[in-house]
């Protein structure tokens, strides 16, 4: 009889042993969630902040650059080569493009087909992601341009990664040193052109710089035709925002 009892105990765990094992596993899981999940969230927040700073830096750098083949907007004063007179002029007219999403600025990356001849602006046409082979006759480039840009609008559909749509709204300084948003995006108060945007007050930032808030939205799907009649109200909430400026 003693032999039979020993055989019964060797065949499995008792109820008490099973409950203790479940409790131990639950304790380990709770410790893991307490320690590692917040750490993972902190890493994701850091990556998100890093990405937003990178995208903001691309916009800031583009507004401080005049490209060799870049053409000025219709109605803008131009040089003999039909270029903007200054980066301030470029920023002025790019901000005006934010009146609606279909003409606003987009930021995206695509693989350029370096095996083909460059286009009139010096850039290369895009390679569809399904046919792109990294390092083989292609190069990953990042572009900031108007959505309706006659050259790059066809590259948006072949974008690698997210496409960001930028809404630029002017910020006006107030007497207490703070800034307030102009009611309508894509408008510049007090001037219809860059040359009459100035101030008669000494040491006044008005006239020397335009301050604005850039709201970055995700373009999904990356198809400019889908945004032809869309308003900013239908774009939802921006992914992130940043207060920026461009100067004379």
For the chain, strand residue ranges (E) read: 105-113, 138-146, 164-173, 179-181, 209-218, 240-247
Average of per-residue pLDDT across 146-158? 90
Higher pLDDT, 61 or 118: 61
Give every CB contact of residue 26 below 8 A, 6+ residues apart in sequence: none
pLDDT of residue 12: 62
Indicate the average pLDDT of the chain: 81
pLDDT of residue 20: 74
pLDDT of residue 170: 93
Higher pLDDT, 31 or 100: 100
C-alpha 191/C-alpha 197 separation (Å) is 5
What pTM, to 2 d.p., does this model score? 0.76
- Of the given ranges (39-43, 109-113, 197-201, 223-227), which has the lowest mean pLDDT? 39-43
For the cut 60, the answer to whether the pLDDT of residue 75 exceeds it is yes
C-alpha 138/C-alpha 31 separation (Å) is 47
136 pLDDT band (50/70/90 cuts)?
A: low
C-alpha 246/C-alpha 210 separation (Å) is 6
Higher pLDDT, 101 or 202: 101
Q: What are the φ and ψ backbone dihedral angles of 10, each rounded to 5 degrees?
A: -75, -10
For the cut 70, the answer to whether the pLDDT of residue 116 exceeds it is yes
Higher pLDDT, 165 or 183: 165
For the cut 90, the answer to whether the pLDDT of residue 15 exceeds it is no
Tokens of 200: 């008669």
For the cut 80, the answer to whether the pLDDT of residue 172 exceeds it is yes
pLDDT of residue 217: 94
pLDDT of residue 32: 57
- Per-domain boundaries in the chain: 17-103+163-248
- Of the given ranges (15-29, 33-47, 149-163), which has the lowest mean pLDDT? 33-47
Site of tokens 């301050």: 211
C-alpha 109/C-alpha 98 separation (Å) is 21
pLDDT of residue 177: 72
pLDDT of residue 39: 43
For residue 206, the SS3 value is strand
For residue 40, the SS3 value is helix
For residue range 33-66, list pLDDT tens digits in order: 555 555 444 434 444 778 889 999 999 999 999 8
C-alpha 24/C-alpha 78 separation (Å) is 75
The number of CA neighbours under 13 Å toward the Cβ of 157 is: 10
Average of per-residue pLDDT across 1-16? 57
């Amino acid at each position: 009889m003693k032999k039979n009892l020993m055989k019964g105990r060797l065949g499995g765990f008792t109820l008490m042993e099973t409950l203790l094992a479940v409790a131990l596993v639950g304790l380990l899981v709770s410790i893991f969630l307490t320690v590692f999940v917040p750490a993972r969230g902190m890493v994701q927040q850091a990556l998100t902040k890093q990405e937003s700073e990178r995208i903001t830096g691309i916009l800031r750098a583009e507004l401080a650059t005049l490209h060799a083949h870049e053409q000025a907007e219709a109605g803008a004063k131009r040089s003999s080569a039909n270029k903007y007179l200054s980066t301030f002029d470029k920023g002025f007219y790019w901000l005006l493009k934010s009146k609606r999403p279909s003409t606003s600025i987009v930021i995206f990356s695509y693989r350029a087909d370096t095996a083909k001849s460059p286009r009139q602006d010096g850039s290369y046409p895009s390679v569809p992601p399904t046919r792109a082979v990294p390092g083989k006759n292609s190069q990953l480039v990042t572009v900031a341009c108007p959505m309706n840009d006659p050259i790059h609008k066809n590259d948006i559909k072949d974008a690698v990664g997210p496409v960001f749509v930028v809404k630029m709204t002017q910020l006006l300084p107030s007497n207490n040193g703070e800034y307030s948003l102009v009611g309508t995006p894509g408008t510049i108060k007090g001037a219809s052109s860059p040359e009459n945007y100035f101030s008669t007050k000494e040491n006044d930032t008005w006239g020397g710089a335009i301050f604005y808030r850039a709201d970055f939205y995700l373009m999904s799907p990356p198809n400019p035709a889908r945004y032809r009649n869309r308003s900013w109200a239908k774009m939802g909430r921006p992914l992130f925002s940043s207060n920026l400026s461009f100067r004379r």
